C-alpha cells in the first residue's frame, strides 16, 4: 500500500515562479471567496457604455475513484477556476484581454463582462487550470505553462449571451479536477490571518501550490522536495485522496515555514507497516489530511481500490507503534473527530504546527501539544486514542 514516494534528488529551489501579473493583486481574498470579477476600465468610454457579458457554467468530467474500481464518470462544477474574457471593440485587429475572474463555488458559474459602447467582436472566454495565484496545474516542470482552452469565438455580440454549460475538453479534464479538489483543502486550511495557505504568508503574495500533471505522464505520485511541486501521472488525479495526500505534504512544509522533517527509511512505505518515525509522521499526516478533508478514514488509490486507515491493537496484518503511518494517521483523525479531545476539528493542530516544528509524532504529542495555547491534551481521551493505535509514551 505505497501511497507516495519522496524525491530529494532534484535541484533545491525555494523560489516559485511569479504568478501571472493579473493575479498578483491583493484582491485574492475577495476573489477566492466570492468569485468576483475584475475588469480593466474602458479608457475614455462614453456615458452610454453598456455591459456585455458572456455567462455560463464550467464543468468537467471525472472518473471517480472514490466510488470504487468501476470509477463511474461524473460531471462536476469546476469551482474557483480562473477565466479571462477576450475580444475586441474595433472592427479589425486581434482579440484583446478584457477581464478576468474566477468561477463560482456552487456551480462553476462565470459572468464575464465588459463595458463598451460598441458590440464585442471575435469574443470568447479562456479558462486556465489555476485558482487565482494560490494554486495551479502546469504541464511539466520545464514548460511551466497551465492548461487552457477557449470557448467558441462569437463573431459579434451586441448583448449579453448565455453560453450554457462549458465542458473542459476530455484530454485535460484531470487538470481541472485537481484545481477543483484543492478547494477542499483550501477551505479547510484553518488560517484566519490571511487568504494564503498558512499564517506565514503575507496577504497579496501567497505561495502557489503547484501540481505537475499530463495525460501521457507515466511516472508520478509524489511531492518533489527539490521543486516543491506535486508530480502526478496520467490517471492518479482520479483519486481525490491521492491529490489531497500529496497536497498535504506541501501543506506541512508550508505550515513549518519552509522546513520539513528529515525523512529517512520511507521508500517504500505502507499504511499498516513499520517504516520510521519520520516517515510515519509525514506520511501519516498526509493520509490524515486527505481523509479529514474528505470526511472518512480511507486512502483511495487511483484504480478505485481503497484501504482503511482505521485500526485497533488487534487489526490483522498491522505492525505496532509510531513507526507505522496508519497508526499515526488514525490517531490524528481521532483527535480531530467530532466528540474528540481537540474540539471536533483539526484547527488547533494546524495552528500548533504553524508555530511549532515537530520532527515526528512523538515530539508533536509529548512536547508540542502541551505548549499549545491553551494546551492540547495528552492525557485522558487523547492518551487512550494513541494507545488504541498501539502507541505508548
CA-based nearest residue to 278, from 360, 222, 362: 360
> Using CB under 5 A, which of the segments 140-148, 201-209, 282-290, 324-332 binds Zn ion?
282-290
Whole-number Å distance between alpha carbons of 327 and 322: 6
Q: Is 127 or 301 the residue whose CB approaches Zn ion more closely? A: 301
Whole-number Å distance between alpha carbons of 285 and 330: 9
> Using CB under 5 A, which of the segments 190-198, 281-289, 366-374, 378-386 binds Zn ion?
281-289
Q: Is 241 left (phi over 0), alpha (psi -120 to 50) or beta?
A: alpha
What is the nearest approach in angstroms of Zn ion to the Cβ of residue 245?
5
CB 98 within 8 A of CB 176: no
CB 309 within 8 A of CB 287: yes
Helix (H, G, I), strand (E, B) or coil at 32: helix
Q: Is 135 or 299 the residue whose CB approaches Zn ion more closely? A: 299
What is the nearest approach in angstroms of Zn ion to the Cβ of residue 251?
12
Is there binding between residue 263 and Zn ion (CB under 5 A)? no
Is there binding between residue 271 and Zn ion (CB under 5 A)? no
Q: Give me the half-sphere count of Cα atoms (radius 13 Å) on the Cβ side of residue 280.
A: 28
Q: Give me the half-sphere count of Cα atoms (radius 13 Å) on the Cβ side of residue 172.
A: 19
> Using CB under 5 A, which of the segments 15-23, 179-187, 286-294, 308-316 binds Zn ion?
286-294
Tell me how many degrees the CA angle 59-145-60 measures, rounded to the nearest 5. Answer: 10
What is the nearest approach in angstroms of Zn ion to the Cβ of residue 375?
29
Is there binding between residue 4 and Zn ion (CB under 5 A)? yes
Q: Is 3 or 173 the residue whose CB approaches Zn ion more closely? A: 3
Q: Which residue is nearest to Zn ion (CB)?
A: 4
**What does the DSSP 8-state code read for residue 367?**
I
Q: Is 3 or 239 the residue whose CB approaches Zn ion more closely? A: 3
CB 37 within 8 A of CB 99: yes
Helix (H, G, I), strand (E, B) or coil at 286: helix
Q: Is 136 or 241 the residue whose CB approaches Zn ion more closely? A: 241
What is the nearest approach in angstroms of Zn ion to the Cβ of residue 182?
16
Is there binding between residue 279 and Zn ion (CB under 5 A)? no
One of 184, 206, 231, 286 touching Zn ion (CB under 5 A)? 286
CA-based nearest residue to 174, from 233, 88, 223, 92: 233
What is the nearest approach in angstroms of Zn ion to the Cβ of residue 291?
13
Question: How many residues bind to Zn ion according to rule CB under 5 A?
Answer: 4
Which of the following is catalytic: 66, 84, 109, 246?
246
Task: Reply yes or no on whether 272 is catalytic.
Answer: no
Residue that is written with C-alpha cell 506541501 in the block: 250
Kindly list the catalytic residues.
246
Contact set with Zn ion (CB under 5 A)? 3-4, 283, 286
Amino acid at each position: 500500500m505505497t501511497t507516495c514516494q519522496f524525491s530529494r534528488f532534484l535541484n533545491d529551489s525555494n523560489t516559485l515562479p511569479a504568478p501571472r501579473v493579473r493575479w498578483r493583486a491583493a484582491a485574492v481574498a475577495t476573489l477566492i471567496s466570492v468569485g468576483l470579477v475584475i475588469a480593466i476600465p474602458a479608457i475614455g468610454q462614453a456615458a452610454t457604455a453598456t455591459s456585455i457579458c458572456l455567462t455560463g457554467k464550467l464543468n468537467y468530467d471525472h472518473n471517480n475513484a472514490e466510488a470504487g474500481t468501476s470509477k463511474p464518470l461524473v460531471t462536476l462544477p469546476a469551482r474557483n477556476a480562473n477565466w479571462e474574457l477576450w475580444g475586441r471593440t474595433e472592427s479589425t485587429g486581434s482579440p484583446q484581454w478584457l477581464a478576468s475572474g474566477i468561477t463560482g463555488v456552487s456551480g462553476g458559474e462565470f459572468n464575464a463582462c465588459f463595458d463598451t459602447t460598441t458590440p464585442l467582436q471575435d469574443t470568447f472566454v479562456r479558462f486556465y487550470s489555476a485558482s487565482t495565484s494560490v494554486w495551479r496545474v502546469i504541464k511539466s516542470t520545464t514548460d511551466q505553462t497551465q492548461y487552457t482552452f477557449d470557448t467558441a469565438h462569437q463573431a459579434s455580440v451586441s448583448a449579453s449571451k448565455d453560453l450554457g454549460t462549458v465542458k473542459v475538453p476530455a484530454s485535460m479534464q484531470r487538470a481541472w479536477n485537481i484545481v477543483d479538489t484543492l478547494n477542499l483543502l483550501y477551505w479547510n486550511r484553518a488560517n484566519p490571518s490571511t487568504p494564503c495557505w498558512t499564517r506565514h504568508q503575507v496577504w497579496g503574495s501567497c505561495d502557489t501550490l503547484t501540481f505537475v500533471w499530463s495525460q501521457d505522464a507515466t511516472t508520478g505520485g509524489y511531492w518533489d522536495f527539490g521543486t516543491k511541486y506535486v508530480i502526478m501521472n496520467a490517471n492518479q488525479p482520479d483519486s481525490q485522496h491521492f491529490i489531497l495526500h500529496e497536497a498535504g505534504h506541501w501543506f506541512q512544509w508550508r505550515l513549518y515555514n519552509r522546513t520539513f522533517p528529515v525523512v529517512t527509511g520511507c521508500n517504500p512505505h505502507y499504511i499498516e507497516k513499520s517504516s520510521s518515525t519520520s516517515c510515519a509522521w509525514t506520511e501519516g499526516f498526509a493520509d490524515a489530511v486527505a481523509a479529514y478533508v474528505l470526511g472518512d478514514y480511507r486512502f483511495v488509490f487511483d484504480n478505485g481500490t481503497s484501504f482503511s486507515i482505521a485500526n485497533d491493537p488487534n487489526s490483522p496484518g498491522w505492525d505496532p507503534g509510531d513507526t507505522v503511518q496508519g497508526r499515526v494517521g488514525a490517531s490524528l483523525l481521532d483527535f480531530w473527530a467530532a466528540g474528540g479531545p481537540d474540539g471536533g476539528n483539526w484547527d488547533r493542530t494546524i495552528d500548533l504546527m504553524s508555530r511549532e516544528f515537530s520532527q515526528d509524532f512523538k515530539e508533536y504529542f509529548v512536547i508540542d501539544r502541551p505548549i499549545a495555547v491553551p494546551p492540547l491534551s495528552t492525557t485522558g481521551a487523547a492518551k487512550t486514542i494513541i494507545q488504541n493505535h498501539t502507541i505508548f509514551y
